A and B are shown apart, each in its own frame.
Chain A
Amino acid sequence: MAIDTERVQTIEEIEPFEAAEEIDGGDVVLIDTREPHEYQEAHLEGGKLVPPGLLADEIATAAPDKSARTILYCRSGNRSAIAAAQLQQLGYENVASMSGGIVQWQEQGLPVVAAHGMTPEQRERYSRHTLLPEVGVDGQVKLLNSKVLLLGAGGLGAPTALYLAAAGVGTIGLVDDDVVDASNLQRQVIHNTERIGEPKTASARKTIEALNPDVDVVEHNCRLDSSNIVELLEQYDVIVDGADNFPTRYLLNDASVRLRKPVVSASILSFDGQISTFVPYEGPCYRCLYPTPPPAELAPSCSANGVLGAMAGTMGLLQANEVLKLVLGIGEPLIGRLLLFEALGTRFTELKVRRDPECPICGENAPEIPDSELGKFPDYELFCAG
């Protein structure tokens, strides 16, 4: 393209780093003067596309205020310089063209929004995902936009959170009110020795942020109860249940069925784990599988009974695998299936789980339940007393 040197000489040109500073400062109209296919491939965040041939027609919409600071850029700086001169003739008072264009901008390591919302760094980081036809760029963007809530940052939640973070799940919420203890470190690989005594949510956040800056970690340093669960669950797409007690599991089930949120649920003890995926009304819920909790002597905890760390990790990663499939909408999640893992025998057993038509929560005649009753069941008080 020929450049009208007469006009170009009269315009202001700024370097990419200067443009970046101005853009960061706000109050800048940023115009991308390239063709749509170039824009789609990569553009500056906030840049509005106004192709050169449409400048006269579209600039008034993209930049209605002629006195506003307006920065133009193109691929290498030529087209934006011409466009800047044209804008000045149209009466724009404070126009600059970014020299070197987006090419120099990227050479200087400044960020762009690449095709489908992924930056070049993200394309590199997630290339082993996007190479999978079942995932692709679109799938990775789904992951980056997904919000997953983990109940517990412990034996199950620690490995689950690590792999979800590595996979680029954009928002990971962590519910845990515990602090890191030395006895956790044999299996809770998201924490480390230096963090003993720190809240688990804070420790997990540090590890996740070091692993993947794309992930937004939300700490919920509390215990779930019927007063906070609905509000919490509403903010997320998928819930991962690694709770250590039955009241929480029933509470989560009842609230998630009401809100129609899928729950990936695993539990572990000693050398054994079990996992299933509960998608409300598509398959059974937790109460269809376990209508009532067992008495205390049949419900021991890991703290009292021990647990093989690698088995916990195996189950945590099976949970992560389920979450990724649910978000991506691929494969066959464990809906209506309960998978048992026996680490000693290295044996997987799959059992069928059916919806219970009489289920008090998801059955055909299930009553409406007020918030205060979520998670309760006929012998709740008795169970808690025991």
Chain B
Amino acid sequence: MATIRIPPVLRPKTGGEPQVEAAGSDVGEVLRALTAEHPDTESQLFGEDGELNRYVNVYLNDEDVRVLDGLETAVKDGDTVVILPAMAGGRA
């Protein structure tokens, strides 16, 4: 099992949970396990082509999966997958 860190903007779609456990042998499978459990997250993470949306960064532990093997990056037990959309708040 891997731990997925849920960003604040997605927490309403995961029942408020800041992190969830999900099974899968690679990043794609882990994220698909999340969207199966919480279907509302699907359109936020994936485009119609099944690829990750460009505005969502996904990290395996501390490394951007874009510089690894993308959604095919292998995931081990105990790994952490961080979902990170850009945030802009500050001045308000």
Interface residues of A (CB under 8 A from B): 151-157, 176, 178, 241-246, 249, 266-272, 274, 289-295, 298-303, 305, 307, 338, 340, 342, 344-345, 349-354
Give complex CA distance A292, B9 in Å. 17
Taking a contact as CB atoms under 8 Å apart, the answer to whether A300 and B9 are in contact is: yes
What residue of chain B has the Cβ atom nearest to residue A295's Cβ?
Answer: B55
Q: Which of A151, A176, A267, A292 contacts B89 (CB 8 A)?
A: A267
Chain A residue numbers with a CB within 8 Å of B59 are 351-352
What residue of chain A has the Cβ atom nearest to residue B67's Cβ?
Answer: A354
Chain B residue numbers with a CB within 8 Å of A249 are 88
With A291-B54, A353-B64 given, is the CB distance from A299 to B90 under 8 Å? no
What residue of chain B has the Cβ atom nearest to residue A315's Cβ?
Answer: B90
26 contacts between A and B (CB under 8 A): A152-B91, A154-B92, A155-B91, A155-B92, A157-B90, A176-B91, A242-B91, A244-B92, A245-B88, A266-B90, A269-B8, A269-B89, A271-B8, A290-B86, A294-B9, A294-B53, A298-B9, A299-B85, A299-B86, A301-B89, A302-B90, A302-B92, A342-B18, A350-B62, A351-B62, A354-B67
Chain A residue numbers with a CB within 8 Å of B57 are 289-290
With A292-B54, A351-B62, A352-B64 given, is the CB distance from A244 to B89 under 8 Å? yes
B28 to chain A, nearest CB (A): 19
Query: How would residues 62 to 92 of chain B score, 1 for a CB under 8 Å from any chain A CB and 0 otherwise?
Result: 1110010000000000000010111111111
Taking a contact as CB atoms under 8 Å apart, the answer to whether B54 and A299 are in contact is: no
Taking a contact as CB atoms under 8 Å apart, the answer to whether B84 and A302 are in contact is: no
What residue of chain A has the Cβ atom nearest to residue B54's Cβ?
Answer: A292
Chain B residue numbers with a CB within 8 Å of A303 are 92
Interface residues of B (CB under 8 A from A): 5, 7-9, 18, 44, 53-57, 59, 62-64, 67, 82, 84-92
What residue of chain A has the Cβ atom nearest to residue B9's Cβ?
Answer: A298
Taking a contact as CB atoms under 8 Å apart, the answer to whether B90 and A244 are in contact is: yes
A193 to chain B, nearest CB (A): 19
With A342-B18, A350-B62, A353-B64 given, is the CB distance from A243 to B82 under 8 Å? no
Told that A156-B90, A301-B89 touch, could you supply 6 new A-B pairs with CB distance under 8 A? A155-B90, A242-B90, A242-B91, A249-B88, A269-B8, A293-B88
Give complex CA distance A305, B3 in Å. 26
What residue of chain A has the Cβ atom nearest to residue B91's Cβ?
Answer: A152
